[in-house]
Chain A
């Protein structure tokens, strides 16, 4: 009887429906307000109010192909932000540590991959086999990193306040920068995109009276990131180890008392974060190049996390999409009004707005406290 019920979905609405519905209602309200303003003649054409409130939307309607292009670019960036944010969420969930080193792990993984490929090239191995061999080696390196972090950073600092662990990840960041620079040098490297079998070039779609260009690498990035996110979500929600991870996140002593080894869990989590970093490194690296500058994009994960909540996998995804799309739309339609380049800070402003109304994020675990 009970096992049959296990398979059936929960009857109640999932927890994220209400916040999403509320957000949509607010957006609809604002849209109605704008329409009323413009229609009533308070904001005549050419006025600032019109430029800010009406012109961008009219442009969107008149040139839907540009809108689709912008949305697509925003979505791809968003999924990649989500991927970085996931790395943070994984570690935060299991150990309550905000891992400042996640950004540099992305760079480190990318550099190790390219560096190993170059090394294999020197002994005469090139092409796809070498690329995948390098990928395996990099996975090994990330596993080694996870084991070392657990052994030399987390284990000695167990039961220390979170801020101490946070500072330790700062230390880890500079250590990894140092190791990375001394092994691979400081010059940007080109990601081995085609050797890994990732597509190049673009697809042009003639739709909506215009042309929408989709980079193939972007499509691949979106597909791979989506698969990765789904796998992680299942891993977290449905597997034995996933349950153990959530248990550790909730209470260390209770987790220990049912036989969960914290050390083992931390190792698994850091390795998972390392794999996420590797995938992120490949995808971002393919879009630009692999350099230490890449770690700053990891900071974009901060507004994503504020939006999505530090503990929620779906939150990281939706947060990433909101930031990615919001950023691109803002830059394209409103950017010129402010002289452009608002993309670099708009995400933080969006996050700040959210912080005021929902401090635990859109999907963060609700803070349940019995008094």
Chain B
């Protein structure tokens, strides 16, 4: 099934299985993500898509199989270590710092890029101030890019869902990740918001060359956005290939529409 794209493999998932007690969330799934592509993971509810993302990101540790990132086979990584390694993500049900402003939320995304000791920060001068300003500039670029200037100083808890999702994307972008994981970036959005989000995802991919792996339910969106699609059902991989190939695949059609028994 798998179609090899030219290019360097950024992430390779090999024979990964994940169990919660007796429940098999993921069974023997393998796929890869090539540098610079937009890779979609699709499948019906409960197919193990988010579990897969959680494995890549270090929230879950698969019992079997290996995940190779940037050519290095990882032992059990913790989520913050994955972040240090260059993996950023967003969550299915937005996970933002609700009491903090949009600006602060995105600034938190810069945490790993800031290195001055906090004693400097405490006095707000010298190298720390230079650093703060430099990162603030980066953050403002992201804010401009995502067109959220007007909510810069609003606590994100007060924002509508669509904008929260955008802020969350901004926070992930602030990390300047090598691999960006998006868990249903368009869930709960109206058409206009979806189109905006699509545009941002494509722009991120084009402008910064960021590799993106995303989970999405809206088939139209998936087919338009992604370079390659992997399809999961009941924790197993049932198809992998270009959107067109996947769309025509009988197993996939059966999985989505159901088969008469």
Contacts and interface: CB of A to CB of B under 8 A. Distances in A.
A253 B96 CA distance: 9
Given A6-B136, A241-B121, A250-B100, A260 B59 contact: no
B95 interface: yes
Contacts of A122: none
B19 interface: no
A260 B133 contact: no
B88 A240 contact: no
B122 A244 contact: no
Contacts of B80: 256, 259-262
B221 interface: no
A338 interface: no
A240 B97 contact: no
B133 A240 contact: no
Contacts of A254: 91, 95-97, 171
Contacts of A259: 80, 83-84, 111-112, 175
Given A243-B104, A243-B107, A368 B124 contact: no
Contacts of B171: 254, 258
B163 to A, nearest CB: 12
Nearest to B168: A254
Interface in B86-126: 88-89, 91, 95-100, 104, 107-109, 111-112, 114, 116, 118, 121-122, 124
A256 B83 contact: yes
B111 A240 contact: yes
Given A3-B140, A239-B118, A240-B111, A257 B95 contact: yes
B210 interface: no
Nearest to A365: B99
B137 interface: yes
Given A234-B124, A368-B155, A246 B97 contact: yes
Quick one: which of B79, B112, B172 has the most chain A CB within 10 A? B79
A33 to B, nearest CB: 37
B157 interface: yes
- By secondary structure, the A interface counts as helix
Interface residues of B, number: 41
Contacts of A22: none
B160 to A, nearest CB: 8
Given A10-B153, A257-B57, A368 B98 contact: yes
Contacts of B83: 256-259
A187 interface: no
Given A240-B111, A240-B118, A257 B89 contact: yes
A2 B136 contact: yes
B158 interface: yes
A115 B153 CA distance: 49
A235 interface: yes
Nearest to B160: A370
Interface in A233-284: 234-235, 238-244, 246-247, 249-251, 253-262
B124 A243 contact: no
Nearest to B116: A240
User: Which of B57, B78, B97, B140 has the most C-beta atoms of chain A within 10 angstroms of its own C-beta?
Assistant: B97
A231 interface: yes
Contacts of B136: 2-3, 6
A89 to B, nearest CB: 14
Interface in A213-243: 231, 234-235, 238-243
A238 B118 CA distance: 10
Contacts of A262: 80
B120 to A, nearest CB: 9
Given A253-B95, A365-B99, A258 B111 contact: yes
Interface in B118-161: 118, 121-122, 124, 133, 136-137, 140, 143, 153, 155, 157-158, 161
A247 B108 contact: yes
B88 A258 contact: yes
A255 B89 CA distance: 11
A245 B205 CA distance: 31
Nearest to A235: B122
A5 to B, nearest CB: 9
Interface string A317-357: 00000000000000000000000000000000000000000
Contact of A246 (B100, B158, B175): B100
Nearest to A254: B95
A370 B57 CA distance: 28
Interface in B150-190: 153, 155, 157-158, 161, 171-172, 175
B111 A3 contact: no
7 contacts: A235-B122, A243-B108, A246-B99, A253-B95, A254-B96, A256-B83, A259-B112
Interface of B: 57, 59, 78-80, 83-84, 88-89, 91, 95-100, 104, 107-109, 111-112, 114, 116, 118, 121-122, 124, 133, 136-137, 140, 143, 153, 155, 157-158, 161, 171-172, 175
Given A241-B121, A257-B83, A257-B91, 14 more contacts: A10-B153, A239-B122, A240-B118, A241-B118, A242-B121, A247-B97, A247-B108, A255-B97, A258-B83, A258-B171, A258-B172, A365-B99, A370-B157, A370-B161
- Pick the 7 closest A-B CB pairs, nearest first: A259-B83, A2-B140, A239-B121, A250-B97, A368-B157, A254-B95, A256-B79
